[in-house]
């Protein structure tokens, strides 16, 4: 084993999106044995850096669902962004239908200035379609998005699109099952973008050539490591391209059934420190 790579939300982090110290310690133990470590996530690079700094980790990073790859010294290995015309059209579609979304570069997550209002109304308009939530749980869920380290609130996205940025992905979130299904169906057939799923209330658009699997190939080539020498952890559909290519694939217990079916191992859940459990089990 020469590289361990883990998804973040639903895998390495607990259900409250907090760092699990045992998972951090397990990765550090692997590093002490000479094994490289990496994070592969839908989050942007800036957000991952802030999280890892708090956890005192220094991994390689695959961010924005594979749009960007950085080594552990901050060198960009790969970047593959969305066409701006496709971005503009997608945002117009989402705006017209009142979706909450973020437009992400490698360091910033741009979201509407009235994001809290959009998300609250989305829930209120969907009470007959989704699981019941207490006001406290709703606020907690909304705050996860609005307090991201890299969040930037904007009133005019045209001004953002005029900047010389590489946009890695668009993330759309809704608590309405009907809107969720409609959005996923629409963008799954959208020319010029690929649609991927990282969670139960979300769908994301990335460049057709961007994926965690393709990004991992770029990282392993940079590190001169064979994919057979990689252990990867994941829980959702956006992890499948990565899990299918590695020598040791691990799904956490809370993973989607389709993810479990393609993995060699199923560990404990994210809340039960599934990443740490399997690292210790396989590495000793």
d(CA 213, CA 240): 8
Three-state DSSP at 176 gives: coil
Three-state DSSP at 253 gives: coil
C-beta pairs of 128-133 under 8 Å, 24+ apart in sequence = 129/176, 129/177, 129/178, 130/175, 130/176, 130/177, 133/175
State the catalytic residue, choosing from 7, 9, 106, 239: 7
Note whether 59 and 163 are within 8 A (CB). Answer: no
- 171 - beta bridge partners? 102, 204
Annotated catalytic, 7?
Answer: yes
Walk across the sheet containing 169-173 and list its strands: 151-154, 109-112, 100-104, 169-173, 202-206, 194-196
Active site residues: 7
């Amino acid at each position: 084993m020469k590289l361990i790579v883990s998804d973040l939300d639903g895998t390495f982090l607990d259900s409250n999106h907090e760092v699990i110290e045992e998972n951090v310690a397990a990765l550090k133990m692997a590093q002490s044995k000479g094994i490289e470590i990496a994070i592969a996530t839908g989050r942007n690079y800036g957000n991952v850096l802030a999280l890892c700094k708090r956890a005192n980790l220094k991994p390689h990073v695959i961010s924005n669902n594979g749009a960007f790859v950085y080594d552990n010294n901050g060198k960009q290995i790969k970047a593959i962004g969305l066409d701006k015309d496709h971005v503009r059209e997608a945002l117009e579609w989402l705006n017209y239908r009142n979706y909450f979304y973020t437009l992400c570069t490698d360091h910033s997550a741009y979201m509407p200035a009235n994001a809290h209002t959009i998300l609250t109304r989305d829930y209120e308009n969907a009470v007959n379609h989704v699981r019941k939530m207490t006001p406290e749980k709703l606020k907690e869920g909304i705050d996860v998005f609005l307090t991201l380290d890299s969040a930037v609130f904007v009133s005019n996205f045209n001004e953002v699109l005029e900047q010389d940025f590489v946009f890695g992905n668009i993330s759309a979130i809704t608590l309405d099952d009907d809107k969720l299904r409609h959005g996923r169906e629409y963008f799954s057939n959208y020319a010029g973008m690929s649609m991927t799923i990282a969670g139960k209330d979300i769908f994301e658009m990335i460049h057709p050539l961007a994926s965690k699997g393709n990004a991992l190939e770029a990282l392993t080539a940079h590190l001169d490591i064979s994919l057979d020498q990689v252990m990867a952890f994941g829980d959702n559909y956006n992890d499948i391209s990565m899990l299918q290519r590695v020598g040791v694939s691990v799904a956490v217990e809370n993973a989607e059934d389709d993810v479990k079916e393609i993995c060699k191992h199923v560990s404990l859940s994210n809340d039960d420190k599934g990443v740490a459990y399997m690292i210790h089990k396989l590495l000793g």
